[in-house]
């Protein structure tokens, strides 16, 4: 096997695990190669945009940071969606292509969404030199579809340095070709809750060791749902409604810098077809629409870990109060920092390379700002503790 192939297979060759609660087991994590790069994107002024009701636009650009690179690369790579941006790990032989593609997304974000996008990159070895590490694990959502989990504090350090030294780490685009967001789909209305409300939760262990802190929180969470943790998944398939053709086309228009292209025509035809199938119940002759819709729930990234636990959950008001009290006690005891945001809905942004199993994933955030609003509370706690 040549060295380039070995580099590319770092993530692909990781053994996956299926029980999310096992993310506290260090045996699942492997150090990222020194010569890989951490790439971080985030929407500038996302809090103001969300306050102005533009949380769906912010989510779209955050998810697009992942989808445009998935369209570019021919192999799986580690990433995490954070609501108003994303973090990716990229091998050295593809970093220039990745940054060029994100420069094009930066242009599209500004021209079509009136949102600035910060794009920064830093070598893993530079993060390691600061005393942190970037360890990666692979959580299997469903057969053939995995998401990356991160530990070691390295991603937080990378973000801190990129934001503090933008001139050094943030790319000034050398070029910005026209792109379209081929695999990205934002055609479902906000998902209504089933149990009372939707919580967006961030939990960061403050004390050492971290493992028992996360284990105890997850055990509390499990008890609240009588062991049926999957019931907290906010992807309400029964309540999910597809947008109209007009709504889909209005969204789609902003995914392209040019309209009169073969790509746009194909997407137009696809929109008409999928609206007929998902909204009006026309029989799908080329794929099993019922099976695909049912698979959206297990293919959702509604919980993840990247040096902090991130969850979007559907729960009752009583369960929400219990979760909030538990987190507040942990904060007052000096064990955790946390952020929590209440909403009536969840947002789902989809990346669909193919409707087959393993070829689609659904990025989940809470309504009305979700993770970004929860992050405001967590950052205030962190600042007060300095």
Mean pLDDT of the 152-177 span: 86
| Statement: residue 347 has pLDDT above 80 | yes
128-144, pLDDT tens digit by residue?
Answer: 999 999 999 999 998 87
Q: pLDDT tens digits, residue range 216-225?
A: 999 999 999 9
pLDDT attached to residue 4: 45
Residue 210 burial by Cβ neighbours in a 10 Å radius (0-12, 13-18, 19+): middle
- Name residues whose C-beta falls within 8 Å of residue 183's C-beta, 6 or more positions apart in sequence: 67, 70, 71, 351, 352, 353
Give the chain's domains with CATH numbers: 3-180 (3.30.70)
| pTM: predicted TM-score of the whole model, two decimal places | 0.91
Tell me the per-residue pLDDT of 349-370, one tens digit each, with 9 for 90 and over.
999 876 666 678 999 999 999 9
CB atoms within 10 A of CB 8: 20
**C-alpha atoms less than 13 angstroms from C-alpha of 2 in its C-beta half-sphere:** 2
Closest-CA residue to 338 (of 302, 377, 301) = 377
Question: What is the C-alpha separation between 361 and 145, in angstroms, rounded?
Answer: 8
């Amino acid at each position: 096997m040549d060295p380039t192939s070995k580099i590319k297979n770092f993530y692909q060759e990781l053994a996956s695990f299926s029980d999310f609660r096992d993310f506290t087991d260090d045996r699942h994590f492997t150090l990222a190669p020194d010569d890989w790069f951490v790439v971080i994107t985030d929407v500038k002024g996302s809090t103001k945009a969300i306050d102005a009701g533009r949380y769906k636009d912010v989510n779209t650009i955050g998810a697009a940071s992942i989808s445009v690179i998935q369209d570019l690369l021919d192999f799986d790579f580690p990433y995490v969606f954070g609501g108003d941006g994303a973090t990716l790990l990229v091998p050295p032989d593809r970093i220039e292509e990745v940054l060029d593609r994100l420069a094009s997304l930066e242009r599209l974000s500004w021209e079509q969404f009136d949102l600035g996008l910060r794009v920064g990159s830093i070598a893993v070895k530079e993060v390691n030199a600061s005393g942190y590490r970037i360890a990666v694990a692979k959580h299997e959502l469903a057969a053939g579809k995995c998401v990356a989990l991160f530990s070691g504090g390295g991603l937080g350090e990378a973000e801190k340095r990129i934001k503090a030294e933008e001139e050094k780490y943030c790319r000034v685009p050398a070029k910005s070709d026209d792109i379209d967001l081929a695999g990205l789909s934002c055609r479902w209305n906000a998902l209504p809750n089933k149990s009372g409300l939707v919580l967006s939760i961030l939990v960061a262990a403050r004390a050492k060791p971290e493992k028992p802190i996360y284990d105890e929180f997850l055990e509390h969470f499990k008890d609240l749902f009588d062991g049926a943790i999957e019931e907290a998944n906010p992807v309400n398939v029964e309540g999910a409604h597809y947008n109209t053709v007009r709504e889909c086309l209005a969204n789609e228009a902003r995914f392209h810098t040019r309209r009169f292209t073969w790509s746009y025509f194909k997407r137009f035809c696809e929109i008409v077809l999928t609206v007929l199938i998902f909204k009006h119940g026309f029989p799908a002759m080329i794929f099993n629409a019922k099976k695909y819709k049912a698979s959206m729930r297990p293919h959702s990234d509604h919980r993840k870990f990247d040096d902090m636990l991130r969850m979007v959950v559907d729960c009752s008001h009583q369960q929400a109060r219990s979760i909030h009290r538990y987190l507040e006690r942990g904060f007052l005891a000096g064990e955790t920092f946390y952020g929590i945001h209440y909403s009536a809905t969840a947002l789902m942004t989809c990346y669909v390379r193919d409707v087959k199993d393993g070829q689609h994933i659904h990025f989940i955030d809470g309504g009305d700002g979700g993770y970004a609003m929860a992050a405001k509370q967590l950052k205030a706690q962190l600042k007060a503790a300095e």
